């Protein structure tokens, strides 16, 4: 249905809803490959690094009624296995599905190598630069909280690849607009925002931290106000399309993200309680548009009113 279609740099999507990086893995995550992925707007793959990573000590994920804490640590089989096995397998099963690769590294050089090899596969429509993982000491969040590093990483990767590049921003900063402007300066085609908030939970019975790495990334509905605020601030100041992510679990949440300034959305934590969350949100979106007497989502973008 044309009503939900979205055009983003390098991406033609039948609807704006995609599973967020991490939740889909490489087709081995929370979404069973038996579901019809062709109904999704796109799929973002798990962040890929140069070498394979086993991630942080177990437990890597702790679920709570009000959200999820993860200290995964970029577990992935490394770019070679992704390019030679994971990507071709997915592409064979889904020839037309927009696929977005996610890139991270321990150094600027790492980012470039991973980006180049993912791009050279010829199997991806876009790259997401993950400069905001809270669970790795080297690279990851460290890069994403320093505007000058964001600019440098983005411009080097852009010189290296022909694919559109979306920079995934960290909420663990005091000035999100500065980070977004840094990505724009580096030549980013778009922004994905936001990654998880750096948090911690403690079990009162065992008195142990909830995750093996002690602290981790917090996600779920409680993140939505922060995401909405940051997307709104950035949309006012930076002329780049924004893929909104943070606490989305319903079609109404998608509408709210659009009003703040998003042009598409990603769903992560909602899939813990409902692996078909993306499908349900897509199915509800049309009804939600009817309720608001709208013909398309696009006309809502950035349409938040000022004052009361």
Which residues are near ligand DOR by CB under 6 A?
22, 47, 70, 72-74, 130, 132-135, 195-196, 217
Q: Cα(66)–Cα(289) distance, rounded to whole angstroms?
A: 28
Rg of the chain in Å (alpha carbons): 18
Q: 19: helix, coil or strand?
A: strand
Cβ closest to ligand DOR, residue 37 vs residue 129 = 129
User: How many alpha carbons lie under 13 Å from residue 262 in its C-beta half-sphere?
Assistant: 25
Cβ closest to ligand DOR, residue 144 vs residue 261 = 144
Active site residue 133: yes
Closest distance to ligand DOR from the beta carbon of 211 (Å): 10
Note the Cα 181 to chain centre separation in Å: 18
Catalytic one of 13, 62, 83, 133: 133
Closest distance to ligand DOR from the beta carbon of 305 (Å): 33
Q: Cα(28)–Cα(86) distance, rounded to whole angstroms?
A: 9
Other Cβ atoms less than 10 A from the Cβ of 293: the count is 6
DSSP state of 62: E
Q: Cα(68)–Cα(222) distance, rounded to whole angstroms?
A: 10
Closest residue to bound ligand DOR by CB: 217
Cβ closest to ligand DOR, residue 25 vs residue 288 = 25
Closest distance to ligand DOR from the beta carbon of 54 (Å): 11
Closest distance to ligand DOR from the beta carbon of 104 (Å): 7
Cβ closest to ligand DOR, residue 73 vs residue 220 = 73
In order of 141, 173, 188, 225, the CA distances from 131 in angstroms are 6, 12, 13, 21
Q: Cα(34)–Cα(159) distance, rounded to whole angstroms?
A: 37
Cβ closest to ligand DOR, residue 105 vs residue 217 = 217
Q: Which residues contact 122 (CB under 8 A, 6 or more apart)?
A: none
Closest distance to ligand DOR from the beta carbon of 134 (Å): 6
Cβ closest to ligand DOR, residue 135 vs residue 154 = 135
Q: Cα(261)–Cα(152) distance, rounded to whole angstroms?
A: 26
Q: Cα(263)–Cα(159) distance, rounded to whole angstroms?
A: 25
Closest distance to ligand DOR from the beta carbon of 75 (Å): 6
Q: Cα(16)–Cα(285) distance, rounded to whole angstroms?
A: 10
Task: Kindly list the catalytic residues.
Answer: 133
């Amino acid at each position: 249905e044309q009503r939900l279609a979205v055009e983003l740099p390098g991406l033609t999507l039948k609807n704006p809803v995609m599973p967020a990086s991490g939740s889909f893995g490489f087709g081995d995550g929370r979404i069973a490959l038996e579901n019809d992925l062709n109904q999704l707007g796109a799929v973002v793959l798990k962040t890929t690094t140069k070498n394979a990573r086993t991630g942080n000590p177990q437990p890597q994920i702790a679920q709570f009624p009000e959200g999820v804490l993860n200290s995964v640590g970029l577990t992935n089989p490394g770019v070679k296995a992704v390019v030679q096995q994971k990507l071709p397998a997915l592409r064979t099963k889904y020839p037309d599905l927009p696929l977005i690769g996610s890139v991270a590294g321990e150094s600027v050089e790492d980012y470039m190598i991973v980006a180049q090899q993912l791009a050279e596969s010829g199997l991806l429509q876009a790259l997401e630069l993950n400069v905001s993982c809270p669970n790795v000491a080297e690279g990851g969040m460290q890069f994403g909280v320093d505007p000058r590093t964001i600019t440098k990483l983005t411009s080097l990767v852009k010189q290296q690849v022909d694919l559109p590049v979306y920079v995934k921003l960290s909420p663990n900063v005091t000035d999100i607009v500065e980070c977004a402007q840094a990505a724009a300066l580096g030549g980013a085609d778009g922004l994905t925002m936001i990654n998880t908030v750096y948090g911690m939970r403690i079990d009162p019975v065992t008195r142990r931290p909830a995750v093996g790495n002690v602290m981790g990334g917090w996600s779920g509905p409680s993140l939505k106000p922060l995401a909405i605020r940051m997307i709104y601030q950035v949309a006012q100041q930076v002329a780049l399309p924004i893929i909104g992510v943070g606490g989305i679990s319903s079609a109404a949440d998608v509408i709210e993200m659009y009003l703040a300034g998003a042009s598409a959305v990603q769903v992560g934590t909602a899939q813990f309680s409902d692996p078909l969350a993306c499908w349900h949100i897509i199915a509800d979106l049309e009804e939600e548009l009817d309720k608001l007497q709208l013909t398309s989502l696009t006309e809502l973008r950035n349409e938040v009113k000022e004052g009361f």
